[in-house]
């Protein structure tokens, strides 16, 4: 009611109202069906049910659609993504074909074996056999931590071991799923005097809001 009063829409409304227009106005639907003769969808495992219906409306006239997705990478169910849209692709679209892209160009064989043995326990998946022309690579080490500070201490100790073997810092990288987790590592590296670079973002203490707060504290 507040959105109606303000004559505004949120992101969900943009999808829902578009679907409503397609349902009620065939002329508008036909305009967009003619505009999009070929439809390509990426990250198909992440679409929700409204987006699926929206695609089906656009598809019905020309029936040209190509979707790229991975049922094993469906992690957004908490925000409405429904992997069954991908798993039902052959039912939802006429004369469809499934192509499995199973060669991996990035990871070693040990990483692929580990990932495949873990993910095969999931239900509701097409299934695939990943393979690579790369070497077996080093064995994978899995370690669990209660908090990022503990993790930062473990990683920094490992880095110091590698450095003691006369390896260059340029050969060492830490991958983060969440950028916010860099803080504990940065504090640890600063305390140890280990130089580091943040790729694809700013160091925690170089962010504008952090520099402002530190400047205010210094002034006080």
Structure confidence at residue 29 (pLDDT): 96
**Residue of 88, 97, 87, 112 whose CA lies nearest to 65:** 97
In which element (H, E) is residue 218 found? helix 208-219
pLDDT in tens, 24-73: 999 999 999 999 999 999 999 999 999 999 999 999 999 999 999 999 98
pLDDT in tens, 3-14: 888 889 888 888
Residue whose structure tokens are 């639907």: 29
**Residue of 148, 146, 134, 143 whose CA lies nearest to 184:** 148
Residues 202, 182: Cα–Cα separation, whole Å? 10
**Residue of 124, 56, 61 whose CA lies nearest to 93:** 56
Q: Are strands 39-41 and 65-67 parallel, antiparallel or unpaired?
A: parallel
Structure confidence at residue 11 (pLDDT): 85
Residues 179, 192: Cα–Cα separation, whole Å? 21
As a whole number, mean pLDDT of residues 72-100 equals 91
**Residue of 63, 54, 61, 70 whose CA lies nearest to 12:** 54
Which comes out higher in pLDDT, residue 142 or 206?
Answer: 142
Show the DSSP H helices in 122-207 as ranges. 148-164, 182-192
Residues 91, 212: Cα–Cα separation, whole Å? 56
| DSSP annotation of 147 | S
Residues 22, 191: Cα–Cα separation, whole Å? 60
Structure confidence at residue 24 (pLDDT): 94
Instruction: Tell me if the pTM is above 0.75.
Output: no
Residues forming beta bridges with residue 103, ordered by sequence position = 131
- Cα–Cα–Cα angle for 197, 201, 202, rounded to 5 degrees: 70
**Residue of 17, 21, 16 whose CA lies nearest to 49:** 16
pLDDT in tens, 116-141: 999 999 888 888 889 999 999 989 98
Structure confidence at residue 131 (pLDDT): 93
As a whole number, mean pLDDT of residues 98-109 equals 93
- Phi/psi of residue 66, nearest 5 degrees: -135, 120
As a whole number, mean pLDDT of residues 72-77 equals 89
pLDDT in tens, 149-184: 999 999 999 999 999 998 999 999 999 887 778 889
Q: What is the residue-averaged pLDDT of the chain?
A: 91
Structure confidence at residue 163 (pLDDT): 93
A 10 A CB-CB count for 179 gives 12
């Amino acid at each position: 009611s507040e959105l109606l009063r303000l004559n505004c829409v949120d992101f969900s409304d943009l999808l829902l109202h578009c679907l409503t227009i397609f349902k009620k106005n065939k002329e508008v639907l036909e305009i967009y069906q003619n505009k999009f003769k070929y439809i390509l969808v990426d990250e198909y495992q992440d679409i929700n049910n409204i987006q699926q219906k929206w695609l089906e409306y656009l598809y019905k006239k020309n029936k040209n659609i190509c979707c790229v997705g991975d049922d094993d990478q469906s992690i957004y169910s908490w925000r409405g993504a429904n992997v069954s849209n991908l798993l039902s692709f052959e039912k939802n679209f006429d004369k469809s074909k499934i192509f499995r892209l199973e060669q991996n160009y990035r990871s070693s064989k040990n990483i692929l074996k580990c990932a495949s043995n873990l993910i095969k326990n999931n239900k509701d998946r097409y299934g695939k056999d990943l393979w690579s022309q790369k070497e077996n690579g080093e064995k994978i080490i899995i370690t669990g931590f209660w908090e990022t500070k503990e993790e930062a201490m473990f990683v920094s100790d490992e880095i110091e071991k590698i450095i003691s073997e006369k390896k260059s810092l340029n050969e060492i990288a830490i991958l983060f799923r969440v950028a916010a987790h860099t803080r504990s590592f940065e504090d640890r590296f600063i305390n140890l005097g280990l130089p580091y670079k943040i790729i694809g973002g700013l160091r925690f203490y170089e962010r504008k809001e952090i520099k402002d707060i530190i400047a205010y504290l210094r002034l006080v």
